[in-house]
Every structure is written in C-alpha cells, then in structure tokens.
Amino acid sequence: MKLGFDNEKYVKIQSKKIKERIKMFDKLYLEVGGKLFDDTHAKRVLPGFDLNVKIKMFQELKKDLEIILCINADAISKNKVREEYGITYDVEVLRLIDNLRKMGFYINSVVITLFNDQPGIDKFIKKLEINKVKSYIHRPTKGYPLDVDTICSEEGYGANPYIETTKKLVLVNAPGPGSGKLATCLSQLYHEHKRGVNAGYAKYETFPVWDLPLNHPVNVAYEAATADLHDINMIDPFHLEKYNIKAVNYNRDIELFPVLKSILNKITNKDIYYSPTDMGVNMIGSCIISDEVLVDAGKKEIIRRYFNAMKAYKLGLSTDEIPTRIKLLMNHLEIDDSYFDIIPIAKKKMTEKNSHIVSMKLNNDIIVTGKETDILSPISSCLINAIKTLSGIPDNIKLLPKNILEPILSLKNSDLHENSTRLELSEVLIALSICSVTNPTVLNALKYLKDLEMCDAYSTYIIPNSELKTVKELGINLICEPNFYSDNEFIY
C-alpha cells in the first residue's frame, strides 16, 4: 500500500498542539469529533493513518485527563444504530466505556442530552449504574440559539447539573453526531466560570482538513460521509476576514459561530476565538507526505460512500436524497464507478459466467475474482483465490476439498434447519483453520489473510450482514452493487 500520511509526525505535532491549547486555560474542555479509536474513515482517506492514533496519543496524557460521554435521548429511545458496527448508540456508549477503562482512562460520566421525557432512558441509566458510571440529564437549553442572555443564565446552562471534574483536560466524546457534545462543554464552562475557574473550550475534529483546498477529494469525501447530515464544506469567512487565510470548515460550524462567539464572550467576558477554525486543534494537513496518494484515496472513498448509500436506499433504509447528493459530488470531481478497475472486470465476468462475482485488488495490484460454486459464496471463493495468489499456490490445488465442506453444509441443512445452499465466509475460514492443522499448504496460505487489510473489493450483489461482518473484521474495503442475490431472494 502506498503511503500518503506520516503517522509518527502526526502524533508528535498533534499532541504538542493540544498541550499548547491546554496551557491557555486552568482547565480545557476538548470536544472530540468523530471516533476516539477505530477511525476507519480516516484510515481509508489518509493511507498511513493509524485508526487508533487518537487514543494512543491521549494515552500519553492519561494521568491529566478524564472523559465525559454524551448521548442524545432520542438516540436511546429510537434505537439509533451505528451502521459500521450494527449496534445501537446506547450499546456503543457502553462499549466505549469498557474499552476506555481497559486502557486505563477515567470515565467521569455520561450525559443524556436533549432529554424531554423520552421512553427508555431509565433503563439506560440503570445499565450505567450497574457499570458504576455516573449519569446526568440535560434538557433542551432555554433560549437556544438566539437569546444569549437566557442561555447564559440560571434558566439556561445554569439549569443543567454541574459535572464535577478534577483533571486539567476533559475530553467530551459521543457515539455519533448530534449527541450534544458542544452544549455539554458550554454548560460546563458556564458552571466553571461561576466557580472562578478559567475553563476553556476547543474542538478536535479530523475532517474537513482546514488547510487542504476546499475541493480536495479528502475534504469532499468528508462531505460524502456526512451527506445524511447535509454538511457542506465552505471557506471559513471569519478566518478569511481576520487573517486573510483561506481555511476550510463546514456549514454548521460556520452558521453557529456568531452565536457561539457571543456565548463564549458572555461566559468568559473576553473574545478568545475569532473564527470556527481558531477553535480547532487539528494538524492533519501538516503530516501529508503524498498529495497524489490522498487524492486517489479520497476519490475512492466518495465512490464507496455512493455505493453504500445506494445499498441503503435499495434496502429501504433511506431515501434517494443521500446517493443523489453524493453523485453530484462525484460529477463535480468528474469520477464514476469505473475509477475502480475491479468494477468493470467483475461486471464482465458476471456476464461471461452468468453468475455473481466478487473482485478484489491485492496490495501488489493483482486483481483476483471469485464466483459462486455449489458450496462456496462468491466472496468465499474470492478470498480463497486471494490467499492462494499471495502464497503462490497453483490454481489447480484445492485448499478445501468437497469432502471437507459438504459435511458442514449437510449439518446446517439437516440438523440446524437453516436451508443453506452455500457456506458463509466465517464458516469457510473455520474450515481452513481446521485443515491447516494437518495441511502445511493451507497453514501457509492463512498467513496471508493479514495482507488483505485495506484491499479494495467489489461485489455484483448485496453481501448479507452475516458475511459482511467477517469482511470488515479482515479490514477489506468492500463495495456492493445495489442488487439482491436473486430476484426472489432477500438475503440481507
């Protein structure tokens, strides 16, 4: 894989930037946008980026920080789901708590924001209590967003309970957007300044990258990723006016900034920031080592987002507005699905073989394909062909003979009553693992599974969740044509 980003440099200069911002205040509330770890989007558009670099960086500051997590009450009551994991926001909060504690971080509390007596909140609070986590309820802020005097009063932020913190750095994170991180930070600033504490606010978001061009594919990829939120990248007019420097931000932050500036001034009695960009601490742009690699990665991510949006539309999970918005971004950059060379190859083979195809481009630029057999799904066939190619095994050698696979399929159909016609990817991997005990060829081939990470793959049909989970665990970047496996089969 060609690298476009210097991860080691990023750790050094990003931690330095955050430490500099901490020194400006007695206590800093740092709103962390996106994911604290498992940042797969950043890893895809910034080749070389460690998907866990943020949390690794904060581990160096662990003794001086604590974490507040926010979740919107609506997300709890409506069982909002994080698509990449297939779990609800409330479960994701519990997962975050568990993972962060294992790494030695102190979880201060969870704030349930925009509470308006939605159902299901008591049950979630009980789960937090069982896990020995404090919880706080924040109702909608009176006067928000226009009446600054009311917002910054006992009727506004003052109506929220004060969260007692003891560390110099307080990270405020959430399972997804719209969780109330900013409001929680500002509420705490109000209470801290009432107590004579010079508390400050800053924002740590990876995208858009403020010092890349507005229409750089990496920034456009962010817009594609947030198409459901209607985010639009814009030149920060406040930054341009104050410093005569073009900086990229997005519409929500720019539209909100005049109000936010007034609120911060009302709380602190001074102007600290003169633009939305001023509030940020992101140093991504300084760590790019190959713009060409990032341009390519950004374009591919936009196309991935388009296919994902089309799949969601096909499954009835969204309207056609989102793929339409992303398609306009593709048109602006003059790219289409042929930008992925694996797509036309798979489509041609599908016509020739009259069968669904999965194609994959390995990190050595070799393209392999897989089709349905009487036992294997196309993705299973493709994966077997991939590790055979990487390990130099001739095509005529079978890693999994029929006499190994047929009993598994028979068991599923007879004893488990699944009525399956093919083995799923996870089952094939288990069969390979068993065979590797007595077959050194299979053992050698399995060593190359790790080399499939970050490989691009394309399927001519919607791969079901049961197999998609394994694909994600292997780190393969898969896109699916929005077609069901057959006209009378809904297999998602």
- Does residue 212 surpass a pLDDT of 80? yes
Please identify, in words, the CATH class of the domain defined by 340-480.
Answer: alpha beta
Distance CA 141, CA 391 (A): 60
End-to-end CA distance of the chain: 31
Give the mean pLDDT of 138-158: 95
The average confidence (pLDDT) of the chain is 93
In this predicted structure, what is the pLDDT of residue 206?
Answer: 92
Distance CA 191, CA 210 (A): 31
pLDDT in tens, 391-425: 999 988 889 877 777 787 777 766 554 556 678 89
Residue 66, beta-bridge partner list: 170
Q: What are phi and psi of 50, to 5 degrees?
A: -80, 120
Give the mean pLDDT of 13-20: 95
Kind of pairing, strands 169-173 and 27-32?
A: parallel
**Burial environment of residue 174 by CB neighbours within 10 A (0 to 12, 13 to 18, 19 or more):** buried
Range list for CATH 3.10.630.10 in the chain: 7-221+229-287
Q: Are 92 and 82 a contacting pair, CB within 8 Å?
A: yes
* Domain 7-221+229-287 homologous superfamily, CATH: dip2346 domain like (3.10.630.10)
Distance CA 113, CA 123 (A): 16
Among 152, 162, 139, 127, which Cα is nearest to 72's? 139
In this predicted structure, what is the pLDDT of residue 375?
Answer: 84
Choose the weakest-confidence range: 188-197, 279-288, 326-335, 412-421.
412-421
Distance CA 71, CA 174 (A): 6
Sequence-distant (≥ 6) Cβ neighbours of residue 457 within 8 angstroms: 342, 358, 359, 360, 361, 379, 382, 471, 476, 477, 478, 479
Distance CA 219, CA 399 (A): 43
* Alpha carbons within 13 A on the beta-carbon side of 442: 16
At 119, is the secondary structure helix, strand, or coil?
A: coil
Its pTM stands at 0.91
In this predicted structure, what is the pLDDT of residue 492?
Answer: 44
- Does residue 363 surpass a pLDDT of 70? yes
- Does residue 17 surpass a pLDDT of 90? yes
Q: Are 99 and 92 a contacting pair, CB within 8 Å?
A: no
Distance CA 455, CA 370 (A): 15
In this predicted structure, what is the pLDDT of residue 488?
Answer: 54
In this predicted structure, what is the pLDDT of residue 192?
Answer: 98
Q: Are 448 and 436 a contacting pair, CB within 8 Å?
A: no
Cis peptide leading into 464, omega within 30 of 0?
Answer: no
In this predicted structure, what is the pLDDT of residue 414?
Answer: 64
Distance CA 278, CA 285 (A): 15
In this predicted structure, what is the pLDDT of residue 242?
Answer: 97
- Does residue 490 surpass a pLDDT of 80? no
Choose the weakest-confidence range: 144-148, 274-278, 322-326.
144-148
pLDDT in tens, 87-146: 899 999 999 999 999 999 999 999 999 999 999 999 999 999 999 999 999 999 999 988
Q: From residue 200, how far is each of 127, 168, 203, 234, 378 by CA, in Å?
A: 32, 10, 11, 26, 54
Give the mean pLDDT of 146-160: 96
- Does residue 485 surpass a pLDDT of 50? yes
Over pLDDT 90: what percentage of the chain?
84
Tokens 């894989």 sit at which residue?
1
449 token code pair: 């599974």
Which amino acid is present at 458?
Y
- Does residue 21 surpass a pLDDT of 80? yes
Sign of the dihedral defined by the CA atoms of residues 146, 147, 153, 157, in that order: negative
Distance CA 310, CA 324 (A): 9
Over pLDDT 70: what percentage of the chain?
96
For residues 471 and 81, the model is more confident at: 471
Within 10 angstroms of residue 162's Cβ, the number of other Cβ atoms is 15
